[in-house]
Structure 1
Amino acid sequence: MRYAEVIIGPPGSGKSTYVMSKKAWLSHRNPYIINLDPGNCNDKEFDYSICSISPSLMYQERHNVGPNMSTKCILEEFYTRIDEFFQENIEGTDHYILLDFPGQVEFFISSDIPNSIIGYLKSNGYSVVVVNLVDLVFFSNDHSLISSYFISTLCLCLLESAQINVISKCDNWKKLGLKYSLEDIASLECLEEMEKKKKIHEEMASFVLNQGLLAYEVLDYDNPDSVLNLQVAIDKASGLFFEDDYFATEKITRISSKDDVFSRYRPE
């Protein structure tokens, strides 16, 4: 079995930083980093960039379309060439693949391409985990918090793969003056209060809770326990964790409890 992560999440949530950190963190897994966001042409560190087909801005000017349509069309063009891409870059290797997807949520709701790419990887022997990164700032007020929960749940329902949801940039927790504790946000404990507020919040909170699927890991590069725990959660979802030599290969001697991870984010 080989393994892949599909990285999604709204713009500004740190997707590119995440995949680049993995290049060093998981160097022993021979990572292959793929940029599938044609709007991100700051891509020299990627092993492959979809901008080689066309940058989004150039496509918009050439075809007189907006950014969402250009992204959709360029990704569709990539998918028509995926056999050739796979044969030239992936086939016969032991790469751990990381795919950095565009941030437009509309793309995941309205397009078949994400599931087509996930399905292609699965058909070629890859266990795929979707990693959904959401910046902590999106949890700093009631409206954006419930919207983030709702969109994360939609992605869980629509994308045909295991999914790990992640609150990123948790090093900013003190600056943001959060209404709820990070622990309550990650575990959805604050939704009970949400259900007592505006009608729209009540309906969205009920939808999220009724699905019974959502929970979050946290990511803070200044907190090594959070980085390790997140990778272990991803590896459990993919099945890599259950390989006989996992702990020796990953050089893991101890996995912190969630309580240890969250202890850093509690008021003193």
Structure 2
Amino acid sequence: MGRYAVLVSGPAGSGKSTFCSALITHAQSIGRNVHLFNLDPAAERFEFQPSIDIKELISLEDVMEELKLGPNGGLIYCFEYLLDNLDWLDEELGQYDDDYIIIDCPGQIELYTHFPIMSRLVTLLSRTYNFKICATYLLESQFMDDKTKYFAGVLSAMSAMINLEVPHLNILSKMDLVERGETGEEAKAGRRREMERYLDPDPLLLAGEVNAKTNPKFHSLNQALVQLIEDFSMVSFMPLDVTSEESVGSILSHIDNAIQYGEDEEPKEPKDMDGGDFQD
């Protein structure tokens, strides 16, 4: 039997928890056995009650109060504590076989881009607990209107891909808000055409737009970063509209392909193979 996990990561406010809820709703509608794993020790509200919750082990609020740490330092401590108490994780994960675990992560992007803590956890889930993992990285689609933020988002997505080293899907979230305020089909169609530039970004094209908004002394750095993105040619995005079941289903299908969902299932014999109802 297979064990599958989807890591939902990205900056704060990018819509991770909303995406988790949409995934769960859609997965349940097609008969999936799916569970939410809350990996954010500061999370307070959930649309679906987590089956596994890190706050049962440690909470960011308690750490900040008792150890006098700030939010970022406290979060790092929480994850180090988790990795030092694997008996809790072992007990929580042990009961899930042939299940789909959706892991809602914190919004501090340092955890995915350059700190080794999240990559250690991903390696642990993969090698020790035999989960097939796909990481998703959400970037808010409204960043398209601020080219410098979008540029930074592409860089952070690429850094997360390199750091986590698992099958990865980048997602432009909140697409239902992109056309909001546009009037008329022509205006909406123009907005959609503009959006397509950002799904498969051409960094060399974006460089000029970014340079137009930044100090000239940074232009050489911008060009070097753009060339880095171009050389790796790793980053592309899928659009996500959580109000559209087709959009959520399409992303789930890509996740399934990435983790080879269902390939470990035993083949089932067709009902008519015994020939009882077969007529020549």
What TM-score results when the alignment is normalised by the length of structure 2? 0.79
Aligned equivalent of 2:138: 133
Among candidates 92, 97, 112, match of residue 93 of structure 1: 97
Deviation at 1:241, TM superposition (A): 6.8
Q: Distance in 2 between matches of 1:241 and 1:218?
A: 25
Secondary structure of the corresponding residue to residue 29 of structure 1 = coil
Residues 26 and 245 in structure 2, CA contact (< 8 A), matched pair in contact too: no
Deviation at 1:68, TM superposition (A): 0.6
Secondary structure of the corresponding residue to residue 44 of structure 2 = coil
Residues 53 and 74 in structure 1, CA contact (< 8 A), matched pair in contact too: no
Return the letter of the residue paired with 2:5.
A
Residues 11 and 103 in structure 1, CA contact (< 8 A), matched pair in contact too: yes
Deviates more, 1:216-225 or 1:159-168: 216-225
The answer on 1:56 being equivalent to 2:77 is no
The answer on 1:214 being equivalent to 2:226 is no
Aligned equivalent of 1:153: 158
Deviation at 1:101, TM superposition (A): 1.1
Deviation at 1:239, TM superposition (A): 1.3
Please give the per-residue CA displacement for 1:144-179, whole angstroms capped at 9, x wherever unaligned.
010000100111111121110000000011248879
Return the letter of the residue paired with 1:183.
E
Structure 2 gaps, min length 5: 183-190, 212-218, 268-280
Deviation at 1:21, TM superposition (A): 2.1
Return the letter of the residue paired with 2:61.
L
Return the letter of the residue paired with 2:205.
E
Aligned equivalent of 2:272: none
Higher-Rg structure is 2
Change (3 A) 1:176 1:105: farther
Residues 129 and 164 in structure 1, CA contact (< 8 A), matched pair in contact too: yes
Return the letter of the residue paired with 1:192.
L
Deviation at 1:96, TM superposition (A): 0.7
What TM-score results when the alignment is normalised by the length of structure 1? 0.82
Q: Distance in 1 between matches of 2:245 and 2:84?
A: 40
Aligned equivalent of 1:40: 43
Deviation at 1:113, TM superposition (A): 2.0
Structure 1 gaps, min length 5: 247-268
Aligned equivalent of 1:237: 258
> What is the aligned length?
245
Identical-residue share of aligned pairs (%)? 21
Deviates more, 1:2-11 or 1:72-81: 72-81
Q: Distance in 1 between matches of 2:174 and 2:163?
A: 25
Residues 141 and 179 in structure 1, CA contact (< 8 A), matched pair in contact too: no
Residues 3 and 97 in structure 2, CA contact (< 8 A), matched pair in contact too: no
Deviation at 1:206, TM superposition (A): 1.6
Q: Distance in 2 between matches of 1:49 and 1:13?
A: 21
Deviation at 1:118, TM superposition (A): 1.1
Q: Distance in 1 between matches of 2:147 and 2:14?
A: 18
Residues 20 and 45 in structure 1, CA contact (< 8 A), matched pair in contact too: no
Question: For 1:81-120, what aligned pairs fall within 5 Å after superposition?
Answer: 81-91=85-95, 93-120=97-124
Change (3 A) 1:88 1:242: closer
Q: Distance in 1 between matches of 2:262 and 2:154?
A: 27
Residues 72 and 111 in structure 1, CA contact (< 8 A), matched pair in contact too: no
Return the letter of the residue paired with 1:67.
P
Residues 171 and 221 in structure 1, CA contact (< 8 A), matched pair in contact too: yes
